[in-house]
A and B are shown apart, each in its own frame.
Chain A
Amino acid sequence: MATRVVVQTRDFELTTEYQRLLDSAPDAGGVVTFIGRVRAGQDRVRALTLEHYPAMTEPALGRIARAAEDRFAVQSINIVHRVGTLPAGAQIVFVGTAGTHRNDAFKACRFLIDVLKTQAPFWKKEHTEQGEHWVAAREIDADAARQWLE
């Protein structure tokens, strides 16, 4: 089992992160990747600032990855989460899983992003034409995490 979790300001490349999954799971029959991006949306968000709790972030992501390993038959997990100020359209997060079969790879990827959204210490501030404000946590995200955790 190979797990990699990274918090960085710089952008990431899908092909590079995909290759990392393959390098640590050469026999994987199914690879699932998810990328989250900054949405302009109805509020016409120009940029997002992502703050985090540096001493806790990578340990928290590691705990979430271990929980996924315990539940699903995957051989490799790779999580990259960006922090800092990111313009609309920028990539925020990469979650990749590689497993023998697709079912566990899909489920593990979904578990990771759903749980990350409610347990990893990141906060988004939106910069819009009307000003800036902290994004409120959404009940729909809490529900998505709850379906895995209860």
Chain B
Amino acid sequence: MIKILFFADTRERLGLAELDWDQDQATTVAELRTALAQRGERWRFFADGELLCAVNQTLCDAKTALQAGDEVAFFPPVTGG
């Protein structure tokens, strides 16, 4: 199982803060994004939207491999400071 978290605009567009995901369905961040984009109309922006991803609290890219127990977070470009 992978725990997926959503923040800020991403969370509000989905109406969802977190989701448990069977890790057999995806092996990389890119594959997970593709799978999420297919969940329905609200999820389409996962296919081409400008989203950042962190795996286990570290920013990562689309090629990053995922394994059971990972915490994956999707969010828009950050705007702190």
Contact = CB atoms under 8 A, between A and B. Distances in A.
Contact of A120 (B7, B71, B78): B78
Q: Interface residue tally of chain B, by bracket? A: 10 to 19
Interface string A113-150: 10011111111110000000011110001100000000
Contacts, number: 78
The SS class assigned to the A binding surface is mixed
Given A56-B73, A59-B57, A137 B9 contact: no
A117 B5 contact: no
Nearest to A58: B57
A45 B60 CA distance: 33
Interface in B10-38: 12
B45 interface: no
Nearest to A138: B79
B54 interface: yes
Contacts of B75: 53, 121, 123
Interface in A42-80: 50-53, 55-56, 59-60, 63
A65 B40 CA distance: 40
Contacts of B5: 53
A134 B76 contact: yes
Contacts of B54: 53, 56, 121
B80 interface: yes
B77 interface: yes
Given A53-B5, A56-B57, A123 B81 contact: no
Given A53-B5, A59-B57, A60-B57, A137 B78 contact: yes
B9 A134 contact: yes
Interface of B: 5, 7-9, 12, 54, 57-59, 71, 73, 75-81
Interface of A: 36, 50-53, 55-56, 59-60, 63, 81, 92-93, 113, 116-125, 134-137, 141-142
**Which 5 residue pairs spanning A and B have beta carbons closest together?**
A122-B80, A137-B77, A123-B8, A56-B57, A117-B81
